[in-house]
Amino acid sequence: MKYELTRHVHEPSGESYVSFRHKSGVKVLVSPNGYTSACAVYSSDFGGADMRFSVDGKVVETPAGVAHFLEHKLFETEDGGDAFRLFSELGADSNAFTSHTSTSFTFSSPMDVFYESLSILLHFVHTPHFSRESVERERGIIAEELNMYEDDPDSRSFNELMKCMYRKNGVRYDVGGTVESIGRITPELLYLCHTAFYRPENMTLVIAGDADPERIAGIMDEQIPEGRYPSVIKLPPKEPEKVCRRLSRIQMDISEPLFSFGIKDSPSSDPAGMRRRGAALSILCSMLFGASSAFYCDCYEKGLISGDTNAYYNYGGDTAYLTVTGESRHPFTVKKRIIKVIEDALKNGVDESEFERTKKVFYANFIYSLQSSSSVAYSLLSFELLHDDMLAYPDLLSSLDCASALGYLRSLYSKDRCAFTVAEQYKEE
Amino acid sequence: MQYESHKIKDGVELCVIVDKKFKTNTVSITYIGDTGSRAASDYALLSGVLSRSCRAYPSLKQLNIALDGLYDAQLSADTSRCGLSQLVTFSIRSLDNRYSIDGTDITSGALDVLYSILFDPDVNGESFSAEVFQSEREQLKDAINGIRNMRQSYAVMQCTKELMRREPRFSPRLGTVADADSATPAEIYEVYKNILSACPVRICAVLSDGADRVKEFACKVAERIGELKNGNAVTPDFSAPPKRLRRITEDAPIKQDVICVGCDLDCDESDGKEAERALFNEIFFQNPTSRLFENVREKLSLCYYVSASPMTDLKKYVIYAGVDGKNAKKAESEIRSQLELMKRGVSAEELKRCRLTLKNDLLSIKDSPSRLSRWYLIRALRGLPAESVDEYISRLDRVTADDAARAAFSVLPDMVYHLKGGAANEI
């Protein structure tokens, strides 16, 4: 093997992976396992929120939705066909997804066609073909995708919360943009963004399956073009600490109101610090608002909330926030309770044994997330995109304590960082 | 991977799949219940009440704390439908003991919780607690009403209800709000006693280890169950569609219309033609290069999603797409035209491609405890042989292009359901 492999191991669970940097600049992670299907994910550090950047010193501003549009269009091949067909001919299953911070292309296949599938993946991602006609055709398809999400209560509600919390950051827009914004996307803009963000040093390849790193590197040698790539700097807007709006109400055709509560955080540029803060706040959030919390059980038993609530801390790119979301006929009562739970925790502290128990839940969820090739691959990728080592996570969990978690919550919480949105039932005039 | 099945006693069957590669142990108990809308809502209420607490853990909080202590063991209670029969399934998924870092016997603890939930509920004499019942009834009504929030599922459900209009035993999975409203805690306790004494049970375990422990558990379960008869799901008879296509339109304040072409499916689940139908489905809608995807979406740009929901157990088939209102007619016409074109034949190349993709998707079932469990459960409920995934895959090799095309003749359009948007623009 001409590359030096770094081996990552978590002894207690027996999980491991190797990583290396390919000569092109792509970071590669390979996790062996005994599953029937292998999975590869090839990801660019270019997401829906990246709307302002410089290319060789020239500032570019894009309409919302370019990363997602690019994700759709990259599947088109030189002959006007599409990569889905090439994967399908091998029996591989392919897909792609775009978030606010990255765009990923993936396939799953048995090992006997894995290397051929990998060639296709790397080839189509690095070989763009955008004709005016095909971009026009795709615009119609994406417009229908956006309309579908417009009718989706969870998606609308989340987007509204982001709009309330963020004044300038691109996360305030739907990843896919709007029907109006995608109307301004041209083949030239797609080529420009592809050149800027699909350069190898901006890419990560994650493989879960019994693949040989040397053979993977050989395929990368063949499929990743060498060349001069431009210098690209992301220029995220400076975001104020306070939320943009503290309350928003939208109306749509839903059976019961949806509430979304968020606290906006200011992420630091220290990955190790954010890793610790993120893990501690996630545990605390689950402990205060999760299925075993007094908040959840009491609200559920009293009929204040329906079904499950989601409560988590999220960070990545230039954003970080804590959210609690769910369904309730009394969303403003629930909001008061959420705030009271936080303020009581800060004033009176929390039960340390509950914190320890919740750490155990997080450890279990870490193991649960390694139950198939695709979930291993996505999990590895999500850690890598945060410059983190997935297998260091259990040790990080065990090193966390209740007092420091409360300290993080204290530094996060203030009323002018909180936003609340309610999606209410549509009422005809 | 090891598979074994056991008849514990009449009406109680156990299947165990053991594979060391799994990190979890999952055990599920499925009761094959009655048919009809009242049964659907009764079972949904029962699953809610039972999974809420038990004598050992008398509150939701105590129960959830116990599950947390078992490394976030996942208890679930749910209802589903196979043919016209309503099913109630209780299951628990937990980490294998090799991941316990403090010596907790996770697997035994998880089985104890499952047993307590099912056989030691928190009852007041001959009734469930009125307070818990009332709260679960509200949750159920919210869930029934909440289906409307998922536009595709709602449209497919409405279309299916219309297709099943002549079958009084049919019910949507959760029943109706009216049925939920008319139930009482004492009646649901009777339903509970009835499923224990009269409903056939299938226990399915997908394990990393510990088959013996699950066999003991199954015997313990069987002791608490009455003298039963073996039973499979009830299926409806085929009903041919009327000559003229029926049309139903429902208005909603949404942005995107959903168009459904509802069809009768002239097939019998035990006719041995499952593989032919599976390949027809793969070519028609399932594969990323399917006829519907390539034509309705890619060539005509009419939609983002176009798919189908084959329901062989109900002998129905719903094809659906999310479209702009102005394209609804065009989309419907293209969908029907693609169905007709399937009858004219399938190319060797598309058969080869779709067969490969389908085989690989089926192979991936072996990586998923939940899919494996469902694979064997559904086959058992439908009275099909307990064929392994590999055995089924070898059957796919024998399907010809003509066989796959012939399957299209069994899909007979009956109606078009249109969930029509528009008013949302005014919001």
A306-320: pLDDT as tens digits: 988 999 999 998 999
Distance, in Å, from the CA atom of A117 to the CA atom of B25, rounded to the nearest integer, reads 32
Q: Taking a C-beta distance cutoff of 8 angstroms, is the pair A94, A116 a contact?
A: no
Question: What's the full length of chain B, in residues?
Answer: 427
> Residue A89 carries which side chain, given as an amino acid letter?
E
Who among B23, B149, B366 is closest to A371 (CB)? B23
Q: Search chain A and give the residue with CA nearest B133.
A: A301
Q: How confident is the model at residue A429 (pLDDT cuts 50, 70, 90)?
A: low
Evaluate whether B2-223 and B246-426 have a shared fold.
yes
Q: Which residue from A33, A148, A360 is facing B322, i.e. has the nearest CB?
A: A148
Q: Which of A148, A256, A258, A362 is the mutation pick for testing B, counting most B CBs within 10 A?
A: A148
Q: What percent of chain A has pLDDT over 70?
A: 100
B24 to A371: CB separation less than 8 angstroms, yes or no: yes
Chain center to CA of A396: 21
Q: Using alpha carbons only, give the angle A101, A102, A107 rounded to the nearest 5 degrees.
A: 155
Name the architecture of domain B2-223: 2-Layer Sandwich (3.30)
pLDDT at site A209: 96
- CA gap A200, A229 in Å, rounded: 9
**Is residue B425 predicted with pLDDT exceeding 60?**
no
3-state secondary structure of A309: strand
pLDDT of residue B423: 55
Q: Tell me whether B148 touches chain A (CB under 8 Å).
A: yes
CATH 3.30.830.10 fits A6-234, yes or no: yes
Q: Provide the residue type at B422 as one letter.
A: G
Residue A333, number of CB atoms within 10 A of its CB: 15
Residue-averaged pLDDT of chain B: 94
Q: Assess B240–A contact: CB distance below 8 Å, yes or no.
A: no
pLDDT in tens, A323-363: 999 999 999 999 999 999 999 999 999 999 999 999 999 99
B263 contact partners, CB below 8 Å, separation of at least 6: B163, B241, B316, B317, B318, B319, B411, B412, B413, B414
Residue B145 forms contact with A (CB below 8 Å): yes
pLDDT tens digits, B38-63? 999 999 999 999 999 999 999 999 99
Residue of A140, A303, A365 with shortest CB distance to B301: A140
Domain with CATH 3.30.830.10 in chain A: 6-234, 247-425
- Establish if B424 touches chain A: CB-CB under 8 angstroms: yes
Which CATH fold would you assign to the domain A247-425?
A: Cytochrome Bc1 Complex; Chain A, domain 1 (3.30.830)
Q: Determine the distance in angstroms separating the CA of A232 from the nearest CA of chain B, rounded to an integer.
A: 33
Helix (H) or strand (E) holding B337: helix B328-343
Name every chain A residue with its beta carbon within 8 A of the beta carbon of B424: 150-151, 252-253, 426
Mean pLDDT, chain A, integer: 96
Q: Which of A84, A144, A426 sits opposite B324 (nearest CB)?
A: A144
Please provide residue A308's backbone torsions phi and psi, each rounded to the nearest 5 degrees.
-90, 160
- Is the Cβ pair A88, B146 closer than 8 Å? no
Residue of B nearest to A302 (CA): B135
Interface contacts (A, B; CB < 8 Å): 188
Is A36 in contact with B363 (Cβ distance < 8 A)? yes
Question: Looking at the predicted structure, is the pLDDT value of residue B426 above 60?
Answer: no
Give residue B238's pLDDT.
Answer: 82
Q: What is the pLDDT of residue B212?
A: 93
**B246-426: which CATH architecture?**
2-Layer Sandwich (3.30)
pLDDT digit string (tens) for A198-245? 999 999 999 999 999 999 999 999 999 998 899 999 999 999 999 999
Full strand arrangement of the beta sheet holding A52-55: A58-61, A52-55, A232-234
A85/B289 Cβ within 8 A: yes
Question: What is the value of ipTM here, to two decimals?
Answer: 0.93
Q: Domain boundaries in chain B?
A: 2-223, 246-426
A34 chain-B contacts, CB cut-off 8 A = 20-21
Test the A interface: residue of B24, B98, B208, B256 with most A CBs within 10 Å: B256
- Asked if B71 is an interface residue toward chain A (Cβ–Cβ < 8 A), one would say yes
Separation in Å, CA of B368 to nearest CA in chain A? 7
The alpha-carbon gap from B176 to the nearest alpha carbon of chain A, in Å, equals 15
Contacts B24 to A, Cβ<8 Å: 368, 371
What pLDDT band is residue A428 in, cutting at 50, 70 and 90? low
| Interchain CB contact of B76 with A (< 8 Å) | no
